[in-house]
A and B are shown apart, each in its own frame.
Chain A
């Protein structure tokens, strides 16, 4: 017996809302670490919709994709934070609007 009466559409809309919260974080914040956390929010929103599709259609592919996304996110976290660290060492700041050497 599977205890749910929540339609798939609700999960999709929740996923969209969470994704957009992540987008707002990336757009409005200037702290590189918080921007990084917002990217994780977006990845997780997509994972949620994948698991929802997988569970509602009885196909394991969605959950396999989530597994691989998590592996890639872990790799991304390691490299991203190493970049933030290297950036801080060179520029003494984590605020992305102070890092403008590539600006024309």
Chain B
């Protein structure tokens, strides 16, 4: 299962950044989020998997598709100067980064072969909720404030400016 979801996740991620059409990108990003959901389920993280579908594949992608529709952006290839040098350099540097991180991980393997025996119980909504309203109560309240600020901020940013007076 891991192999299937891992290949699917990488493929849909690459699709997301290579499509010329923003709508195709958005759709493969949704596929990517579902692949990640599968990976979370292989890790017994049921709550995170559910929230991933609800928040990312649901809320955030609806927002993105809405903006694409609203702006009516076309395909990117109408645009000249596709910057071949930048693309090559970017991919090369990215390859370097992947090699660096992988060697760093492989040089000192964590040696963990199996999930913790507690993995099944900490992934449930019950355990997450228990922890959220006790240990993590303050961050929880802070996040609610942040969401309120983001709500007000985005309304002010996106509204048309009306001339005063």
Contact = CB atoms under 8 A, between A and B. Distances in A.
Contact of B79 (A30, A51, A66): A30
A67 B98 contact: no
Contacts of B32: 41, 44
Contacts of A40: 29, 56, 60
Contacts of B42: 4, 6
A82 B22 CA distance: 17
Contacts, number: 244
Contact of A7 (B94, B112, B118): B112
Contact of B157 (A11, A34, A52, A86): A86
Interface in B42-98: 42-45, 47-48, 51-52, 55-56, 59-60, 63-64, 67-68, 70-71, 73, 76, 79, 83, 86-87, 90-91, 93-95, 97-98
Chain A interface size band reads 35 or more
Contacts of B122: 54-55, 58-60, 63
Q: From DSSP, what is the main secondary structure of chain B's interface residues?
A: helix
19 contacts: A2-B117, A2-B120, A13-B101, A14-B39, A22-B17, A27-B90, A27-B94, A28-B86, A34-B16, A51-B40, A55-B43, A60-B127, A60-B131, A67-B51, A67-B128, A81-B67, A84-B67, A89-B160, A94-B71
Interface of A: 2, 4-14, 16-25, 27-31, 33-34, 36-38, 40-41, 44, 47-48, 51-52, 54-60, 63-64, 66-68, 70-79, 81-86, 88-89, 94-95
